Every structure is written in structure tokens, then in C-alpha cells.
Amino acid sequence: MASTAAAGGSELHVRVRVPLDAIELDVDWRPESDHVAIVGPSGSGKSTLLRALAGLEPGALGHVSFGGDVWLDSDSGVYTPAWERRVGWVPQDALLFPHLSLRENLAYAGAGEPDVERMAASLFLSDLLDRRPRFLSGGERQRVALGRALLAAPRMLLLDEPFSALDRPLRSEIAAMVRAFARDSATPIVLVSHDEHDAELLADERWVLVAGRLTADGARQSSEPHA
Amino acid sequence: MVLAASSLQDVLPVVARAWDARGGVPVRFNFDATSRLAPQVIKGAPADVFVSADDEWMRWLEERGGVDSLSIRRVATNQLVFVVPTGAPDPPGAPGSIARADLARIALAGENVPAGRYARAALESVGAWSSVEPRVVRGGSVRGTLEWVARAEADGGIVYRSDALAEERVSLAFAFEGEDFPQPAYSGAIASRTEFRETAEAFLDFLSGAAAAALFSASGFGPASVGGPVTQTLTPAPGLDASPGLDPWSAVRLSLIVALSAVLLGLVPAVAMGWLLARKNFLGKSFVSMIVMAPLVVPPVVTGFLLLSVLGRDSALGGLLAAMGLPIPFTLLGATLAALVVGFPLYVMAIRAVFDTVDRRFEEVSWTLGVPKAPTFRRISLPLALPGIAAGAVLAFARALGEFGATVVLAGNMEGETRTIALAVYSLLESPSGRGATWLLVIASVVLSLVALLGFEGLTRWQRRRMEDHHGH
């Protein structure tokens, strides 16, 4: 079933304008692959694009649809709130709930204990489960944020510089794990990064965002996911 | 400078103008209850002439060398009267009928204020004191007592004839006339410390002279001659050195009850208001914010007066509450409400500040995990705001402990009911005795406040540490 989704693309269509402080994010975007990377310098609007997809930019105008659901249509007043879109948003600074232990963070969306344990193991976090976020390194926090999003059974993964605090070997392992998850559950991924290497690890299709404008980048495109 | 009993507030300036007109030196006044003025004379208040509403206080000053013995003389007399709200049906006609059960609440001035002492003596002399005592509400001054009767918060009250005449919202039921009753009398004396002895002497002569007597009489006062010589003991009320019958532990207990109830009662409104002001933009937001913060800058006495106007029995809301069995004035609930309203700005400010500092993206993450707004508020926003909410509660608690002005106006100063530490200390300061109890209350008050502030410090540090957890990586 993974291949069906991959063949049909993610059926994501995004045509939004979001006014920002300095620039305006203005994109009309219909990616072809399931796993897409958007690269670009900081301040180009990458994070805002993810937030608009997640339903966290109430000022966004235009049209967003995914898999037959209309998430935003400002002409007809349609706006699906974030909690009904069920996207797995992993913000750059992790944003772990500081008053909850790792275990509680991972189980936040309602996952059972065995799932939490399994996820912790695959992210190399098993020994840390009863700690509070304040006692973790930046890389550990990113992995918890990823696990928390995956355990919520998201319909799409939105990853904002998800590996920035991980060292190279760990990056590859975690990226492989995310790919496996995405393949098994047919979950599309939109990753934004200023790091070309991160984009290569996860995406089949690459776009470049500069000053709020998105353009296709033909540097590396493959329709087949890594085995 | 003339320090004079507050019941002379209206008449003495008139007398002073007549004195001016005859070429006298202009006079300045400081009016307050005799019981507060007399100790001030001893403590060195700048005074040239002292006019007392009570001979016992004059004698107390004389014994301590505060006034010149030889200069003491009678100035005017007054009369105790029983007043009822204007239009009250079937007012009592004689002193004996005060014990009637339908007079559920009788207002008297404070127990150390001369008018309050005279009133008690008058009731004792008709044998009515023991049956009336449980129904007594004590105001501070005669004017405060009169205000309560005027608003029909009390069914009747004992005040001076001169005060009753000046207030049209009360009518005179009867006067305490005759030999059996104490005769309130004003006496004047030269303060020992004056630097203007001759002027003071001349003014005192004028006060006790015929021209002043005519002015006193026009304002409802009696002639100086009626009162008898000053040396005679006129007030069979309990001596000044008797303790004012005040239990300090009851005041401490009441303070804690009032402050805790205020904090609990205000918790939900304060969190709601703090969140609203931090997170929402709406029409009239700055107006709402201003109203909430107003008690911080408006004098508490004014806040108390406004609360009495809105929640008093003569108002629509107050009448409704009273009919529901929740009367506000003179009750523990009233004291709690006064403390809450005055402490509410601090409560809201602390909570607003914490909602301002908590990163809203925690809430956003929770939404994307499929948890809607209300449960996100309960699971994320509230726990993260907890240190600020606790800090606000501690501040409101501390402010409630210190509350005085709004409480005394709305809830009175009633032993065991609304007399908190602050009010008890105030009452004790009017009596030269009871130093021990005063110190006990002062220490209790300081200790409680410091503990509350320590708690606030601790909570603030907790909050800062939590925020650092998030931002400090």
C-alpha cells in the first residue's frame, strides 16, 4: 500500500499567502512525491509554510487540500483547526512539554505503554523515559519530539530541521527509522531544512524556497523510495 | 492649629470665621475622633488648642501633661439621640423600647470613641445594654455610624443631636434626655507645647464666650453651662484603662479565614481574567483592564464606599443578595469580598504575566497532536501557568491580610465577625491600654506578611527555573 501512495503522490495541494514581517509567503504548490524536502536560507518562510499546513497560521489566505480533505479555503470560509488535521509537526526546538516526563511527552496523544516503549527503543531513548526534558541534550529532545509526533498516528509528517542537533551517524539511523515508519504507514513527509544533506536523507523531491517564493529543484529527483 | 473632636467638624469652622471677623488670627483645624487625637497630642502633634468630646480623655491628657490644667474649660454640650432611617415605620419612642426585637441592628460609634462610650452608658442606664449588645454594629466615627443608618444598613443608631440634624436621610426617634443619661460635653484646653500661648488663650476665650455659644446653639449644640464643671466625672462608661474587650487570637483567626476565602473565591475569576488579558484582543480590553486594576490605585475607603453602594441593602443587587440569605454589609462575606476586590489586581497581574511568558507554541504542539483547545488548556496551559497562579494567590493573600479601608466601610469593625488584625490594631490604638495585645497583633501581622512574601519569592524562582528549562538549551 505504500507504493500506491507513492505512485499517486501525496495529493497535497497548497496555494497560500501568509503575510510575514519582512516578506510575504506566496506559494502555489503541488508536489509529486510522497516525501518532499524544501530547502532555503533562514528567513525565507520555510517554518511558516509548515505552520500553515499544520493549521497554526490563522492569517493564511488561499486553499489547502490534502487527500480529498479541504483544510483551508478562505473564499468559502473553510478552516480545519489543527487538532482535526492531525499532522505530525516537529518544530525545530522540539518544544517538549517541560512539566511532563519523557514517557508522558511520548504518550501525550494517547499512545499505550507498549507503543511508547517500542518507540523509545527505536529512538535510543529507553534509559531516559522517566526524566524531565530539562535534563536532555538537544539531540535527545529532537528525537523525543519526533517520537511524540509519530505516536499520534499523523496523516502527514511536518519536520522542521529535525536533525539539526544530531551527529552524522545518528542522523542516518534516525532518518532510516523515519523512512521505515513513513513507508509502513503510508505517511507523506514534508521536511524543511537549510541542510542539503538532511534533504537527501529523507526526500525524493526537492524544492527551493527563497524570500517566500517556491521553485522546483531538479538537482535530485527519484520516484523510488530507499529500500 | 486646633485639634478637635470630629463631631465639631461643621460648627468650628463657622465659629472660626466669626473669630476671624473680629480680628483674630486665622485658625487651622485637624478633626478626628477624640480618642485618636489625644494620644497624638502626647506624641507631639503640632497643637495649640485641643477640644475634646469627652472629659475622661481630657483628664487622661491632663495627667500626662499634654494640656495646661488651668486652661481646661467647658465649650459646649451635645445630646445623644436615637435616629432611624427616614421613613422607617414605627420608630421607637423612648429609650426603654430600644430592646425591641425588630431593631435587628443598632449602629454605635467605636467603643473608645466618646460617642460610642456615651451610647453604651446611656443604654446601660436604662438596663438595655445586655439585650442590645449582640445587635450592635460598631462604626469608627459618628459620621460612619450615621451613614449606616442613612443607608438603612442599621435599623437605628445612637449619634449626637448635632450630627442627626445635618443628615436628612435619618430622622430623630427620641433623645436621651434627663439626669439619668450621660451628657456629652466638649471641653477645650491649651496644649502644653504650644508656641502661641496668648493666641490660644484668646481663641479658647472666644470659644467659650457668648458669640460662639449662639453659633453652637444654631447647629444643635447645647450651652456650655448645662454640662457642669469639667472636673466632675460624667461618663460612667468603662474606664479608659480597661481593655476594649478584644480577643487578639480571634482577630488573627479571622484574618486568615478572610484572606484564604478571598484567595479561593477569586481563583477562577483571576485565572480567567489573567488569561483573557494576556491572550485575547477584544473591543474594550483596555477599559476592562483599567476597571480590574482600579482598586490598586483608588483609595480602599473609596472602594469600600462603592461596594457598599452596589451591595448595600438599599441597592437592587444587595437587596437581592440579602433576600437570598447572603447579606454583604457587616458580615464575614462582606469582609472577604472587600479583601478580594482590593487584592484582585495583584492576583490578575501575576497570572497575566505568567500567561504572557509561557510559550504559546506548547499549546500549538498539543493541538497538532489532536488535542483541542479546552483539554489543551487543562493539560498544558494551566500546569505551565501554575507557579504564576500560585504567586498571584500569595500576593492576593498578603494584600487581603493588610486590608483595612474597604473592610471598615463595607463590613464594619465587629468583634469575632469582621474585626481582622488590621481593624483590631486600629481599635487598640484608640485605647491607651491593651499595649500587650497590640504588640501581639503587630508581630502576628508582620510574621504572616513576611511568610507570604517569602512564599512569593520562592514561587517566582520556581517559575523562572521552569522557563529556563525550556529556553536555556
Enumerate the residues of chain B whose CB falls inside 8 A of the CB of residue A95: 359, 361-362, 365
DSSP B203-240: HHHHHTSHHHHHHHHHTTPBPGGGG--TTS----SPPT
Using CA atoms, how far apart are residues B463 and A208, in angstroms rounded to an integer? 41
Tens digits of residue pLDDT in B151-188: 888 889 998 888 888 788 888 888 888 777 878 889 99
Contact A83 B370 (CB under 8 A): yes
Using CA atoms, how far apart are residues A62 and B276, in angstroms rounded to an integer? 30
In what side-by-side order are the strands of the sheet with B49-52? B29-32, B2-5, B49-52, B185-190, B73-77
- Provide mean pLDDT across the span A67-88: 88
Interface test with A, best of B369, B379, B389, B466 (most A CBs within 10 A): B369
Tens digits of residue pLDDT in B10-57: 888 889 888 888 887 888 888 888 887 887 887 777 889 999 988 888
Contact A82 B383 (CB under 8 A): no
**Nearest residue on chain B to A138, judged by CA atoms?**
B473
Contact B370 A86 (CB under 8 A): yes
CB-based contact A187:A177 (threshold 8 Å): no
The residue type found at B215 is L
Min Cα separation A219/chain B (Å) = 32
* Confidence tier at B243 by pLDDT (50, 70, 90): very low
CA neighbor of B420 nearest in space, from B408, B432, B435: B408
Contact B365 A95 (CB under 8 A): yes
Contact A98 B367 (CB under 8 A): no
List the domain boundaries for chain A. 2-217
Judged against a pLDDT cut of 50, whether residue A1 lies above it is answered with no
Using CA atoms, how far apart are residues B221 and B265, in angstroms rounded to an integer? 48
With b for 16 or more beta-carbon neighbours within 10 A and e for fewer, the B366-403 pattern comes to bbbbbbeeeebeebbbebbbbbbbbbbbbbbbbbbbbb
- Provide mean pLDDT across the span B219-246: 55
**Nearest residue on chain B to A56, judged by CA atoms?**
B364
Q: Please provide residue A111's backbone torsions phi and psi, each rounded to the nearest 5 degrees.
A: -65, 150
Contact A149 B366 (CB under 8 A): no
DSSP B288-353: HHHHHHHHHHS-HHHHHHHHHHHHSTTSHHHHHHHHTT---TTSHHHHHHHHHHHHHHHHHHHHHH
What's the Cα-to-Cα distance from B107 to each of B116, B238, B262, rounded to whole Å? 9, 19, 26
CA neighbor of A161 nearest in space, from A57, A16, A40: A40
Using CA atoms, how far apart are residues B433 and B429, in angstroms rounded to an integer? 9
Using CA atoms, how far apart are residues A27 and B342, in angstroms rounded to an integer? 53
Using CA atoms, how far apart are residues B126 and B132, in angstroms rounded to an integer? 11
DSSP B221-289: PBPGGGG--TTS----SPPTTS--S--HHHHHHHHHHHHHHHHHHHHHHHHHHHHHHHH---TTHHHHH
Using CA atoms, how far apart are residues B366 and B376, in angstroms rounded to an integer? 6
* Confidence tier at A5 by pLDDT (50, 70, 90): very low
Enumerate the residues of chain A whose CB falls inside 8 A of the CB of residue B354: none
Contact A82 B367 (CB under 8 A): yes
The reported pLDDT for the residue numbered B433 is 58
The helix (run of H) or strand (run of E) holding residue A116 is helix A113-122
Tens digits of residue pLDDT in A178-225: 888 888 888 899 999 888 788 888 888 888 888 888 887 755 444 444
Helix ranges restricted to H, A123-185:
138-150, 168-185
Contact B371 A83 (CB under 8 A): yes
Using CA atoms, how far apart are residues B337 and B308, in angstroms rounded to an integer? 11
List the domain boundaries for chain B. 2-76+184-223, 80-175, 248-471
Residue B459 in grid coordinates: 514561587
Give whichever of A90-94, B42-46, B85-89 has the largest mean pLDDT. A90-94
Tens digits of residue pLDDT in B308-326: 888 887 788 888 888 888 8
- Provide mean pLDDT across the span B127-135: 84
Own/partner contacts of B357-360, CB < 8 Å, gap of 24 or more, are: B357/B388, B357/B467, B358/B384, B358/B385, B359/A95, B359/B470, B360/B279
Contact A85 B368 (CB under 8 A): yes
Contact A83 B364 (CB under 8 A): no
Judged against a pLDDT cut of 80, whether residue A40 lies above it is answered with yes
Are B2-76+184-223 and B80-175 in the same CATH fold?
Answer: yes
Choice among A85-99, B235-249, B422-436 with the minimum mean pLDDT? B235-249
* Confidence tier at A226 by pLDDT (50, 70, 90): very low
Question: DSSP secondary-structure letter at A22?
Answer: S
Interface test with B, best of A108, A137, A142, A156 (most B CBs within 10 A): A108
* Confidence tier at B269 by pLDDT (50, 70, 90): very high
CATH class of A2-217: alpha beta
The answer for residues whose C-beta is within 8 angstroms of residue A39's C-beta and 6 or more apart is A192, A193, A194, A195, A196, A199, A206, A207, A208, A209, A217
Q: Across chain A, which distance is largest between two alpha carbons, in Å?
A: 50
Contact B473 A138 (CB under 8 A): yes
Judged against a pLDDT cut of 50, whether residue B78 lies above it is answered with yes
The reported pLDDT for the residue numbered A227 is 37
CB-based contact B325:B283 (threshold 8 Å): no
CATH class of B80-175: alpha beta
What percent of chain A stands above pLDDT 70? 91
Q: How many CB atoms lie within 10 A of CB B14?
A: 14
Q: How many CB atoms lie within 10 A of CB B242?
A: 12
What percent of chain B stands above pLDDT 70? 92
Fold of the domain built from segment(s) B248-471: MetI-like fold (1.10.3720)
The reported pLDDT for the residue numbered B385 is 92
Task: Write down the pTM of the prediction.
Answer: 0.74
Tens digits of residue pLDDT in B349-391: 999 999 998 889 999 999 999 999 999 999 999 999 988 999 9
Contact A98 B372 (CB under 8 A): no
Enumerate the residues of chain A whose CB falls inside 8 A of the CB of residue B469: 98, 132-134
The reported pLDDT for the residue numbered A147 is 92
Judged against a pLDDT cut of 50, whether residue B239 lies above it is answered with no
Using CA atoms, how far apart are residues B292 and B275, in angstroms rounded to an integer? 13
Query: Is residue B462 exposed (0-12), middle (13-18) or buried (19+ Cβ within 10 Å)?
Result: middle
With b for 16 or more beta-carbon neighbours within 10 A and e for fewer, the B188-226 pattern comes to bbbbbebeeeebbbebbebbbeeebbebbeebbbbebee
Judged against a pLDDT cut of 60, whether residue A92 lies above it is answered with yes
**Nearest residue on chain A to B362, judged by CA atoms?**
A95
Min Cα separation B462/chain A (Å) = 12
DSSP B112-168: TSHHHHHHHHHHHHTT-HHHHGGGEEE-SSHHHHHHHHHTTSSSEEEEEHHHHHH-T
Q: Please provide residue B219's backbone torsions phi and psi, each rounded to the nearest 5 degrees.
A: -95, 10
CA neighbor of B456 nearest in space, from B356, B341, B346: B346
Q: What Rg, from alpha-carbon coordinates, does chain A have?
A: 17
Give whichever of A2-11, A142-151, B459-468 has the largest mean pLDDT. A142-151
Enumerate the residues of chain A whose CB falls inside 8 A of the CB of residue B384: 98-99
Min Cα separation B278/chain A (Å) = 18
Tens digits of residue pLDDT in B382-402: 999 988 999 999 999 999 998
- Residue bearing cell 480602599: B300
Superfamily of domain B2-76+184-223: Periplasmic binding protein-like II (3.40.190.10)
Q: Across chain B, which distance is largest between two alpha carbons, in Å?
A: 90
- Provide mean pLDDT across the span A31-58: 86
Give whichever of A42-56, A63-77, B320-334, B391-405 has the largest mean pLDDT. B391-405
Min Cα separation B347/chain A (Å) = 23
The reported pLDDT for the residue numbered B410 is 85
Using CA atoms, how far apart are residues B333 and B257, in angstroms rounded to an integer? 10
Query: Is residue A70 exposed (0-12), middle (13-18) or buried (19+ Cβ within 10 Å)?
Result: middle
Q: What does the mean pLDDT of chain B come to?
A: 84
* B368 vs A89, A93, A97: nearest CB: A89
Orientation of helix B435-471 relative to helix B382-402, angle to 10°? 160
3-class secondary-structure state, position A64: strand
- Residue bearing cell 472666644: B206
What's the Cα-to-Cα distance from B110 to each of B115, B120, B139, B417, B427, rounded to whole Å? 8, 10, 5, 15, 8
Judged against a pLDDT cut of 60, whether residue A162 lies above it is answered with yes
Using CA atoms, how far apart are residues B26 and B19, in angstroms rounded to an integer? 8
Contact A109 B380 (CB under 8 A): no
Using CA atoms, how far apart are residues B35 and B257, in angstroms rounded to an integer? 30
- Residue bearing cell 485639634: B3
- Residue bearing cell 484608640: B430
Q: How many CB atoms lie within 10 A of CB A209?
A: 22
* Confidence tier at B197 by pLDDT (50, 70, 90): confident
Judged against a pLDDT cut of 70, whether residue B228 lies above it is answered with no
The reported pLDDT for the residue numbered A187 is 87
The residue type found at B462 is W
A133 CB within 8 Å of a chain B CB: yes
The reported pLDDT for the residue numbered B233 is 42
B positions 36-95 inside 8 Å of A (CB): none
3-class secondary-structure state, position B171: strand
What's the Cα-to-Cα distance from A90 to each of A52, A143, A145, A174, rounded to whole Å? 14, 10, 6, 14
